[in-house]
């Protein structure tokens, strides 16, 4: 399938057909911030449903009728039932049942004493006073009246002692709760499966068509999310109403399809709710550290949370990839099929983050069979912008040790070479050419200078001045060009000979394509080229932040997922991550330890992201960073002091001595002191030793500023 320019770098010619890619969708209408664009209303034919329905795909009619009440950030809203903010002050079950048994036995004993006359006959006096004397001469009538009175007295005693023994509380807590079915909260408004907003707009035929498709199972949850997003786009641009109506009439559930023609993922491993764009990652543990209102509730992520970016830290094997990265990638892939998101997932070759057919494009860096290569310059035509991004990739991790304290000198040196080369050739240099220029090869520099001198005009003169300035700086002992040449040599290897072309001879993918609902996976050759993989990862992060911040249309949520962000975080990337939340974009960074981040950037990184996740097995020094970030809270403590009671009274001494003989303990008086103290929400020791396997501590913040305290989450449920 031809890409029609979607993945091609600017200034290159589109290659021939034969690659697995997604065609470029037509322009989409603008929508309010936070809402993806309305998708194309003209699709080539009706795409087929997946060959097999995933096990987690919901029945659409039942799924739409489940309530989704408003809740705090990160709460799985599908069928959510709110819990009280504070734990009810309930009597423990053991004490409750013991009190009930004692009370009922006491009542039975009292009734037995009354019935057998051990307490006299005074309790029958009301019967004698309230009944006529003539009743006593009529045995059947008197027997009926007597037994009625006995039942009333016995029933009164039963009710009295049952209330003393809290039997009604036992009934409410156990019997009634187990017998009555759990009722769902009433659905507010019209039935969503009937498409009430389309009917209200007069599109009765379209609503009926979609309702029938939902009833027969032809319409899935991705279709629902995609068509509803298209309808939102129509509401912002009414001129698209005829096209939308015609597409729904002709194609039904397949209307407004993704450019790939697909309407679902081949498989799902997580539980998703596309009506709220949530993916469930676990359950808040029933632990004293968690707020009572959040215990046992589902925990989910969505674009409003990922828009503040997420940092996950934990050792290998703790479940970061399986229980976090893969569900998030899967969720964003579904949202991309619904024309609501664009996702780029970066992982190591062979990591199996998700199957190949779950993506529109799979780029295997260093593999000759890869259908596309990467645009080294991110589709930029500005030498200064391209040089800044490339310098970030090459020496961003060394910025703190460079002269001047940042990578600006490196960007300047690159621009002094890339600018003249671009002015002469209309493109930026490929990696071998750039390496020669940076290393000061006389042949390459003389050829570039001669060609510029042969041109006329102020532009050529300015580029010559740039080249002369680079020549003078290269004579200095601390010239940055030497380091840049050494770094770019990691990419100038035979394994990457088919990548990073700039002459239009290959099909290139540019991060600027995130303006379209794409699903892209980039596999890095970490095993054989670890340093090159880190340079490419930094390059992708820098290009993503640059592209996301400079998008003209920010209605699509854009996400970059780095399954291994080791030595990827730089000072510039931390600053860029903070700005992404206003651009409807975010990054997900996974680290084995914070030691893989330069020491000066560990605190700023934790402060830049809105969502932080510490997995089981965290090192104490990493836990200390998280504990410092999550801060402290005021808690109420109870100090209990036992003081031995000493008495001079003979009788009291005798009683105390007998108690010590029976219990083996001295008689004491208990004093309780209640006070409020400030303690860490999660201490470094707790994070290192008290997080069970398969769990993580997660704090969340959404783009509106709402946040949740750190929660202990069971990622296995």
Instruction: Give the Cα separation of 29 and 27 in Å (integer).
Output: 7
Interior angle at CA 574, CA 570 and CA 577, nearest 5: 135
Q: Give the pLDDT score at 460.
A: 87
Q: Give the pLDDT score at 40.
A: 37
Enumerate the β-bridge partners of residue 559.
Answer: 343, 586
Length of the chain: 717
Q: Give the pLDDT score at 49.
A: 40
**Residue 296 corresponds to which tokens in the numbers above?**
């046992």
Q: Give the pLDDT score at 303.
A: 97
Taking the CA atoms of residue 348, residue 353, residue 358 and residue 362 in that order, the dihedral angle to the nearest 10 degrees is 0
**What SS3 state is found at 212?**
helix
Mean pLDDT of each 10-residue bin along the chain, 717 residues long = 38 34 35 36 37 59 92 95 80 83 90 87 86 87 90 91 87 70 51 88 91 91 95 90 92 92 93 96 94 94 97 94 96 96 93 88 88 89 93 86 71 94 92 92 89 83 91 86 92 89 85 94 89 95 95 93 94 94 96 93 95 96 95 82 78 76 74 83 93 96 94 95
Its sign, for the CA torsion 521, 526, 531, 532, is negative
Q: Give the pLDDT score at 18.
A: 32
What are the Cα distances from residue 229, in Å, to 67, 140, 278? 20, 81, 15
pTM for this model (two decimals): 0.80
For the beta carbon of residue 394, count every other beta carbon within 10 angstroms. Answer: 26
Q: Give the pLDDT score at 133.
A: 85
Using the structure block, give the residue that is written with the tokens 């997932």. Answer: 345
Instruction: Give the Cα separation of 336 and 521 in Å (integer).
Output: 13
| H or E stretch at 536 | helix 530-549
Say if CB 42 and CB 243 are below 8 A apart. Answer: yes
3-state helix/strand/coil string of 353-402: CCCHHHCCEEEECCCCCCCCEECCCCCCCCHHHHHHHHHHHHHHHHHHHC
* Dihedrals phi, psi of 260, to nearest 5 degrees: -75, -15
Q: Give the pLDDT score at 180.
A: 53
Its sign, for the CA torsion 197, 202, 208, 209, is negative
Say if CB 499 and CB 365 are below 8 A apart. Answer: yes
**Residue 509 corresponds to which tokens in the numbers above?**
């993918």
Q: What single DSSP character describes residue 133?
A: G
Enumerate the β-bridge partners of residue 644.
Answer: 668
């Amino acid at each position: 399938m031809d890409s029609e320019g979607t993945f091609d770098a600017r200034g290159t010619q589109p290659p021939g057909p034969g690659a697995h890619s997604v065609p470029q969708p037509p322009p989409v209408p603008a929508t309010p911030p936070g809402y993806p664009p309305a998708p194309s209303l003209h699709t080539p034919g009706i795409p087929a449903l997946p060959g097999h329905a995933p096990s987690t795909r919901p029945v659409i009619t039942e799924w739409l009728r489940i309530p989704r009440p408003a809740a705090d950030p990160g709460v799985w809203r599908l069928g959510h039932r709110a819990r009280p903010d504070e734990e009810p002050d309930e009597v423990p079950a053991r004490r409750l049942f013991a009190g009930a048994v004692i009370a009922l036995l006491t009542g039975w004993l009292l009734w037995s004493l009354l019935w057998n006359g051990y307490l006299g006959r005074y309790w029958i006096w009301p019967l004698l006073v309230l009944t006529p004397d003539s009743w006593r001469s009529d045995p059947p009538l008197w027997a009926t009246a007597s037994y009625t009175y006995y039942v009333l007295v016995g029933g009164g005693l039963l009710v009295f002692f049952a209330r003393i023994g809290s039997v009604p509380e036992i009934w409410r807590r156990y019997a009634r709760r187990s017998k009555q079915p759990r009722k769902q909260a009433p659905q507010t408004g019209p039935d969503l499966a009937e498409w009430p907003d389309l009917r209200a707009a007069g599109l009765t035929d379209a609503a009926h068509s979609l309702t029938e498709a939902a009833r027969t199972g032809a319409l899935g949850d991705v279709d629902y999310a995609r068509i509803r997003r298209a309808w939102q786009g129509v509401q912002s641009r009414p001129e698209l109403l005829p096209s939308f109506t015609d597409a729904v009439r002709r194609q039904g559930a397949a209307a407004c399809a993704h450019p790939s023609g697909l309407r679902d993922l081949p498989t799902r491993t997580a539980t998703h709710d596309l009506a709220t764009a949530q993916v469930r990652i676990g359950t808040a543990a029933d632990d004293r550290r968690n707020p009572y209102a959040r215990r046992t509730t589902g925990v989910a992520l969505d674009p409003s949370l990922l828009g503040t970016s997420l940092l996950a830290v934990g050792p290998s094997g703790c479940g970061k990839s399986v229980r976090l990265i893969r569900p998030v990638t899967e969720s964003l892939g579904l949202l991309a099929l619904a024309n609501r998101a664009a996702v780029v997932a970066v992982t190591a070759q062979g990591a199996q983050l998700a199957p190949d057919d779950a993506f529109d494009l799979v780029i295997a860096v260093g593999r000759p069979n890869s259908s596309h290569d990467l645009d080294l310059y991110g589709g930029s035509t500005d030498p200064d912008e391209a040089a800044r991004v490339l310098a970030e990739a090459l020496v961003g991790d060394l910025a703190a040790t460079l002269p001047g304290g940042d990578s600006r000198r490196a960007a300047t040196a690159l621009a002094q070479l890339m600018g003249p080369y671009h002015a002469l050739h209309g493109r930026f240099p490929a990696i071998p050419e750039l390496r020669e220029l940076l290393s000061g090869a006389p042949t390459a520099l003389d050829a570039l200078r001669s060609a510029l001198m042969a041109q006329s005009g102020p532009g050529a003169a300015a580029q010559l001045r740039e080249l002369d300035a680079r020549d003078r700086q290269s004579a200095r002992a601390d010239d940055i060009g030497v380091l840049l040449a050494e770094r770019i040599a990691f990419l100038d290897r035979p394994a990457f000979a088919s990548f990073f072309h700039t002459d239009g001879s290959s099909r290139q993918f540019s991060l600027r394509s995130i303006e379209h609902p794409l699903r892209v996976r980039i596999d890095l050759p970490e095993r054989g080229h670890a340093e090159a993989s880190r340079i490419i990862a930094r390059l992708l992060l820098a290009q993503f932040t640059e592209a996301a911040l400079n998008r003209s249309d920010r209605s699509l949520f854009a996400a970059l997922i780095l399954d291994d962000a080791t030595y990827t975080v730089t000072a510039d990337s931390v600053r860029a991550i903070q700005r992404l939340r206003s651009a409807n974009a975010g990054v997900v960074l996974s680290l084995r330890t914070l030691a893989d981040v330069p020491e000066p950037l560990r605190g700023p990184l934790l402060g830049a992201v809105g969502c932080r996740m510490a997995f089981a097995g965290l090192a104490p020094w990493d836990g200390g960073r998280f504990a410092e970030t999550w801060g402290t809270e005021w808690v109420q403590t109870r100090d209990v002091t036992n003081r031995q009671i000493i008495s001079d009274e003979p009788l009291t001494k005798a009683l105390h001595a007998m108690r010590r003989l029976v219990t083996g303990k001295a008689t004491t008086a208990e004093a309780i002191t209640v006070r409020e103290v400030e303690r860490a929400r999660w201490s470094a020791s707790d994070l290192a030793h008290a997080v069970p396997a398969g769990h993580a501590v997660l704090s969340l913040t959404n783009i509106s500023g709402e946040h949740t305290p750190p929660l202990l989450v069971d990622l296995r449920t």
